[in-house]
Structure 1
Amino acid sequence: MDIEARLTPTPTVKCNGTPPTPEQQEGPYYKPDTPHKPNFRADVDGGTPLLLHGSVVTSDGKPVGKALLDFWQVGDEGEYDEEGFRLRGHLFADDEGKWQLETVLPAVYPGRTRHVHVKVQPPGGEVLTTMLYFPQERRNHLDKYYRPECLMDVTHSPEGWNASFTFVLDI
């Protein structure tokens, strides 16, 4: 089955209804001091456009304004940039906790399903490190780090992919 046929709108999954968003491994490819960069698309030639967006809220649903979100991922070649900041950067949620990142669809690479890494930090608070996953990926169940609570809501169109996620922080 081709990837477009597998991607249909999914029901809303926000931490599988059991906040807070789970902590996950940082992995070996994290780099600190990323640039402020809410758009990764210029980092690569081509690739399938992906709009990631969502909210940061407390466990009782209150928005977490000005939260820092630091993202890193692979492109369609399946390799992390270890020399610079290609497909790496941070942004801030607005006053209502809303955030948005323009990027490209990450590849599946050996041992891993399709995913995006992120660190989320409320102003003056603790950092949550986690990963976001795509629903209906055939390799999800094979990835030892996969967490269904971290599935994004995803839709697909000829213009690209649209994925949303609400981070629930235990603060």
Structure 2
Amino acid sequence: MTIERDATAAGSGQSATETFQKKARENAGQADPARVSAVAKDALAALHDVIRRHQVTYAEYDALKSWLIRVGQDGEWPLFLDVFVEHVVEDVANADRKGAKGSIEGPYYVPGAPEFTGEGTLPMRDSEAGTPFLFQGTVTGLDGTPIEDAVVDFWQADDAGYYSQFAPGLPEWNLRGVCRTAADGTFKIHTIKPAPYMIPHDGACGALIEAAGWHPWRPAHLHLKVSAPGRQLITSQLYFSGGDYVADDVAQAVKPDLVLHPTPVVSGQGEQVTYDFALDPA
């Protein structure tokens, strides 16, 4: 039987690539040639400056070409861009928001997860490892008015650092769910507390990380997309105070406002945290 420990960078990368390509087809639009020209020229000029500044040799140039080819062969362009580039795009895209803070989406989002309203438990295996965890809060407008039927689209890795639909042996919707807020804008999501994990590192991205002497770890985190009619969707990741790699996330996506401070549950086992989302108007 194939199990999640059999996951490879190539397998995960191919799944991430297929998911991204489907998303790109659904959101395809005509590019503005002037924007393409301006961004491409500046990007190439920046690369040319790096080559001149570091006196890049032909041997290093050939190594770069070989590595870029391998990124494509391993299906790791979504991983590379999401880990090393997306955090800057997200900063620019959300710079004017007054409400909830955003973070990167990453390569492992899948739409269409099972839905529940108000309070529910994410789909998980009967023997799901990890500390029981209650994530709860309220979705409001900027003025604090609760929003009924707002969508809290939630996904996370399991206790071993694997995502359903991107690693073998996991149920299709494991630790993925969509919670619609109750009449008072509240939501309660029962899950498990995730652990830190290494990004896939047996492929091209891992080769870069090893060559540069970096580490491949991401801190434990929860993923969310929160939206409501007439409001801007916010995509975010939430981390855990005191957790490993919060201070040196390989994806550079941690922000102070996104760090959670869980407490023990009032009765029973596990931890809980309350985190609210104020949505900007569309």
With structure 2 as the length reference, what TM-score do the two structures score?
0.51
8 A Cα contact 1:41 1:104, kept in partner: no
User: Is residue 164 of structure 1 aligned with residue 254 of structure 2?
Assistant: no
Please give the per-residue CA displacement for 1:53-86, whole angstroms capped at 9, x wherever unaligned.
0111122211111101110001111111116111
C-alpha offsets along residues 104-133 of structure 1, whole Å, 9 cap, x if unaligned? Answer: 011100221111000001135432111111
CA distance in 2, matches of 1:117, 1:103: 12
Instruction: Report the counterpart of residue 22 of structure 1 in structure 2.
Output: 101
- Partner Cα separation in structure 1 for residue 177 and residue 125 of structure 2: 11
- Quote the offset at 1:151 in angstroms: 2.1
Contact map agreement 2:224 2:235 (CA 8 A) in 1? yes
- Say which is worse superposed, 139-148 or 32-41, in terms of deviation: 32-41
- Residue 115 of structure 1 corresponds to 221
TM score, norm. by length of structure 1:
0.82
For 1:8-157, what aligned pairs fall within 5 Å after superposition?
19-37=98-116, 38-40=120-122, 42-43=124-125, 45=127, 46-82=129-165, 84-110=172-198, 111-143=217-249, 144-156=252-264
Residue segments in structure 2 that go unaligned for 5+ positions in a row: 1-96, 167-171, 199-216
Counterparts of 1:54 and 1:106, CA distance in 2: 19
Aligned length: 154
Q: Any idea what the Cα deviations from partners look like across 1:13-52, whole Å, max 9, x if unmatched?
A: xxxxx94112222110000111115312643513210011
2-structure distance, mates of 1:154, 1:59 = 25
Return the alpha-carbon distance in structure 2 between the equivalents of residues 167 and 33 of structure 1: 21
Q: Does the 8 Å contact 2:232/2:279 carry over to 1?
A: no
SS in 1 for 2:130: coil
Give the ranges of 4+ consecutive aligned residues of structure 1 lying more than 4 Å apart after TM superposition: none
> Which amino acid is 1:167 matched to?
F
> How big is the shift at 1:166?
0.6
RMSD between superposed Cα atoms in Å: 1.9
CA distance in 2 between partners of 1:47 and 1:140 (Å): 19
Q: Is the contact between residue 136 and residue 188 of structure 2 (CA under 8 Å) also seen in structure 1?
A: yes
Answer with 128-137 or 69-78: which moved more: 128-137
Q: Is the 8 A contact 2:196 2:244 kept in 1?
A: no
RCO higher in structure (CA 8 A, sep ≥6): 1
Q: Which amino acid aligns with 2:242?
A: Q
